[in-house]
Amino acid sequence: TPRVFSGIQPSGGLTLGNYLGAIKRFVDMQGPKFATIYCMVDLHAITVWQDPAALRRNTRELCAGFIASGIDPEQSILFNQSQVPEHAQLGWIFNCVARMGWMQRMTQWKDKAGKNQQNASLGLFAYPSLMAADILIYHATHVPVGEDQKQHLELTRDIAIKFNNDFGVDFFPVTEPVIEGAATRVMSLRDGTKKMSKSDPSDMSRINMTDDADAIAQKIRKAKTDPDALPSEIEGLEGRPDARNLVNIYAALADQSVEQVLAEVGGKQFREFKPMLAELAVSKLSPISSEMARLMNDQAEIDRILARGAERARVIAEPILRQTYDIVGMVSSA
Ligand code: AQP
């Protein structure tokens, strides 16, 4: 069975962007077609400063978010990255395969490092190389992600190809990004040209998975829009990023296409559409947030799930690391 791998950073609370762009699609990929492996990438999170207590809490809350959204920890392998040391070990090998120039071209590096690159961590620069290791340590072939991760996945392919060429082997597979659906890029509620993000200083820019019904309704009511009515065809959303964003969110939450949504709501004003969207969002998200809160009451159980997931992950990762070391020429004890 082909393997699916994806991860989310415990660098803050989950947003609607993470849910629609990633977790909801992770749930869809569970089933007989794929072996699914989902990870809380804590080693990635610390590429920028994380308060240790907050990191621990965010990791557990993220695990609760996965399960509350429908990831079954029996069917999928669910774990946190630092408990499977093979990620970091393969990441080091890939640091020696990847080129500085490749990393320098990454838009996430440029955005996150900002003007003062000299002051960014070395880990932030090497982020995509560790991400390639996350995927390839399982020989995963399918990686569901949001649009913003496309460039990193291309780099993962480049690393796999260069490794195979350098050592004259056909060892690492070339992975396929799976970027599908209406919400591969959920935008800020305050600015339809900016990605909705955990780390945006404005809480009004995003819907958090832990927001209550009132907060969700208020954020949608205050979301930026334009004065025009909704179009009945998709072309009518061109040049209207805020309108497009709300329609995309509606479509993704309702499991409909954008065309279907516009056929239904075309001609309506935002003052009519926003309450519809708020009601839909609350009906889909509040069961998840209450289940998250319930799961967070038993942290020992969450820790057991993560430890068990890590054990299962290592069964796959350990032999692949051993073979990699062998290909590279490391002397082993066996
Ligand atoms: N706005 C988004 N729309 C669609 N997908 C999104 N993803 C993130 N934001 C959106 C997808 O969620 C997965 C996990 O992302 P991540 O936590 O590893 O990192 P990120 O992309 O950096 O997320 P944030 O929320 O923007 O965090 P910060 O603010 O810390 O940088 C990925 O599949 C991503 O595509």
CA–CA distance, 39 with 4 (Å, rounded to integer): 11
Helices marked H in the chain: 16-18, 24-29, 42-45, 52-69, 86-95, 100-104, 107-113, 122-136, 150-167, 213-221, 241-254, 258-265, 270-296, 299-328
| CATH 3.40.50.620 placement within the chain | 3-178+298-328
Residue owning tokens 């080129």 = 99
pLDDT of 116-134, one tens digit each?
999 999 999 999 999 999 9
CA–CA distance, 88 with 93 (Å, rounded to integer): 9
CA–CA distance, 137 with 90 (Å, rounded to integer): 7
Angstrom CA distances, 95 to 7, 100, 150, 170, 202, stand at 20, 9, 20, 19, 35
- ipTM of the complex in this document: 0.95
**Exposure on the CB side of residue 115, measured as CA atoms within 13 A:** 0
What does the pLDDT read at residue 273? 97
pTM above 0.80, yes or no: yes
What does the pLDDT read at residue 150? 96
Three-state SS across 172-208? CCCCEEECCCCCCCCECCCCCCCECCCCCCCHHHCCE
Q: Using the predicted structure, report yes or no on whether residue 107 has a pLDDT greater than 70.
A: yes
CA–CA distance, 148 with 120 (Å, rounded to integer): 20
pLDDT band at 332 (very low <50, low <70, confident <90, very high): confident
Regarding the beta carbon of 148 and ligand 1, being less than 6 Å apart is answered: yes
- Work out the average pLDDT over 83-99: 98
CA–CA distance, 126 with 105 (Å, rounded to integer): 12
Average pLDDT, the chain: 96
Angstrom CA distances, 249 to 112, 190, 243, 269, 310, stand at 26, 14, 10, 17, 33
Instruction: For 100-131, give one letter per residue: b (16+ CB within 10 A) or e.
Output: eebbeebeebeebbeeeeeeeeeebbbbbbbb
Name the closest-CA residue to atom 33, ligand 1.
145
CB of 88 within 8 A of CB of 47?
no
Regarding the beta carbon of 65 and ligand 1, being less than 6 Å apart is answered: no
At 33 the three-state DSSP class reads: coil
- Work out the average pLDDT over 25-42: 97
| CATH 1.10.240.10 placement within the chain | 203-294
What does the pLDDT read at residue 182? 85
Q: How far is the CA of 244 from the centre of ligand 1 (A)?
A: 19
Which of 4, 18, 110, 208 for a ligand 1 pocket mutation test, highest count of atoms within 8 Å of Cβ? 18
pLDDT band at 143 (very low <50, low <70, confident <90, very high): very high
CA–CA distance, 126 with 128 (Å, rounded to integer): 6
Reading the block at residue 133, the tokens are 């290791």
Name the closest-CA residue to atom 21, ligand 1.
148
Residue 195 annotated to the active site: yes
Instruction: For 246-255, give one letter per residue: b (16+ CB within 10 A) or e.
Output: bbbbbbbbbe
What does the pLDDT read at residue 22? 95
Q: Using the predicted structure, report yes or no on whether residue 334 has a pLDDT greater than 70.
A: no
What does the pLDDT read at residue 199? 85
CA 309-127-118 angle, to 5 degrees, is 145
pLDDT band at 221 (very low <50, low <70, confident <90, very high): very high
Q: Shortest CA distance to 276 belongs to which of 256, 247, 255?
A: 247
What does the pLDDT read at residue 181? 86
CATH top class, domain 3-178+298-328: alpha beta
CATH 3.90.79.10, applies to 203-294: no
Regarding the beta carbon of 45 and ligand 1, being less than 6 Å apart is answered: no
In angstroms, how far is CA 130 from the centroid of its own chain? 15
Identify the burial level of 41 via C-beta atoms within 10 angstroms of its C-beta, where 0-12 means exposed, 13-18 middle and 19 or more buried.
Answer: buried
Regarding the beta carbon of 9 and ligand 1, being less than 6 Å apart is answered: yes
pLDDT band at 284 (very low <50, low <70, confident <90, very high): very high
Q: How far is the CA of 320 from the centre of ligand 1 (A)?
A: 28
Regarding the beta carbon of 21 and ligand 1, being less than 6 Å apart is answered: yes
- Work out the average pLDDT over 73-79: 98
